[in-house]
Amino acid sequence: DNVEWSEEQEASARSKVQENSSQLLPQDKQEEYEVNAKRYWNDFYKIHENGFFKDRHWLFTEFPELAPNRNPGQNGDSAPGFGNKEESDKGGLGSCENGHCSLETRAENQLNLLKDTPEICTEEGTAQKDTELSQSGGDYPGSSASYRILEVGCGAGNTVFPILQTNNDPGLFVYCCDFSTTAVDLVQNNAEYDSARCFAFVHDLCNDQSPFPMPDESLDVVILIFVLSAILPEKMQGIVTRLSRLLKPGGVILLRDYGRYDLAQLRFKKGQCLSDNFYVRGDGTRVYFFTQDELDDLFTTAGLEKIQNLVDRRLQVNRGKQMTMYRVWIQCKYCRPAAPHL
């Protein structure tokens, strides 16, 4: 856990990235991947449905905001943040298939990176929790809830359903959206989907005219888990700024995403690079690999304040294949200030 890299290892990773970035895809091919992005993600979910990613019970270790009233006996407590559904994930190492690396591993589930993290903004968030939105005008899904969560890029529901199962707050309402209509269909047709507590909808983050079903300043939490990295880099700032407006004062954005020199980045071959640290997978979906500074700049430019921004470097060993795999993820928490600074 939290493996420190040697200078030699980092130099080797940098060299691999320089090599696989030396040949960019032609501009017309890049435009084709942007135009057809929805089709590629729809195809991904048609093939994998909900079988590729495991339910993310590590969420509640990493992001306790998602289950503030968690029932101690729920979902098993044999290990912190570890649920029975995740006990086996292709040998316990996670899988990499066509450039998609699943993350639900035993080591991942037992993370506890937040134990020393200062919790600022939480009091303001609690103060806002019971504020009704009658002044925002009109009725909307979840308008009577006291604690609202939005997950952007919900996929097949591997984050949404653990939240609904684990968070027993009667005032909870969870929104979830995805670019892929196939993914949203999978969520809505899941036996666990409860329209009294959840609202799933199709949404194109890159279209700033695409409306959200809730008004600005209505959300306590926005979740971005391996989502921002799939967006064209030049569109990221507008998306983060727009999402930040949905937060109540004191509300937080929670992010976990790919870090620079992650195994998935080093595995790309020459000819799959779109631009610096941005690649296309074999199935047409795309992925960006972040630094902490890049994410900090995106969130602070949107007017948010840092609670947490850390790199998690992890060594995974497959003894059967005698392979070592170095994963690099970045985890962030940024909150909307309770009042504008003078």
Look-up of token digits 């989907």: 193
Other Cβ atoms within 10 Å of 81 Cβ, number:
21
- For the cut 90, the answer to whether the pLDDT of residue 36 exceeds it is no
* More confident position, 217 or 41: 217
Tell me whether residue 16 is exposed, middle or buried, using C-beta atoms within 10 angstroms of its C-beta: 0 to 12, 13 to 18, 19 or more: middle
Instruction: Provide the token pair at 260.
Output: 């620079």
**DSSP summary character for residue 134:** G
Q: How far is CA 66 from the centre of its chain?
A: 13
Question: In whole angstroms, what is the distance from residue 24 CA to residue 274 CA?
Answer: 5
198-202 and 273-275: which strand pairing? unpaired
Task: Report which residue type is found at 230.
Answer: A
Cβ atoms of 17 and 265 closer than 8 Å: yes
Instruction: Provide the token pair at 243.
Output: 């999402």
Tell me whether residue 71 is exposed, middle or buried, using C-beta atoms within 10 angstroms of its C-beta: 0 to 12, 13 to 18, 19 or more: exposed
- For the cut 90, the answer to whether the pLDDT of residue 57 exceeds it is no
pLDDT at position 235, please? 94
What pLDDT band is residue 197 in, cutting at 50, 70 and 90?
A: very high
Worst-scoring range by mean pLDDT, 103-117, 211-225, 264-278, 297-311?
A: 103-117
pLDDT at position 115, please? 34
How high does pLDDT run on average in the chain? 78
pLDDT at position 119, please? 43
Question: In whole angstroms, what is the distance from residue 261 CA to residue 329 CA?
Answer: 9
Query: Structure pTM?
Result: 0.79
Q: Can you list the domains of the chain with their CATH numbers?
A: 7-66+141-336 (3.40.50.150)
Instruction: Provide the token pair at 297.
Output: 């700049």
Question: In whole angstroms, what is the distance from residue 329 CA to residue 262 CA?
Answer: 7
Distance from the first to the final alpha carbon of the chain: 42
Q: What is the pLDDT of residues 313-329, one digit of tens each?
A: 888 766 666 667 788 99
Worst-scoring range by mean pLDDT, 69-78, 126-135, 264-273?
A: 126-135
pLDDT at position 10, please? 85
Question: Helices 292-301 and 236-245 meet at what angle, rounded to 10?
Answer: 50
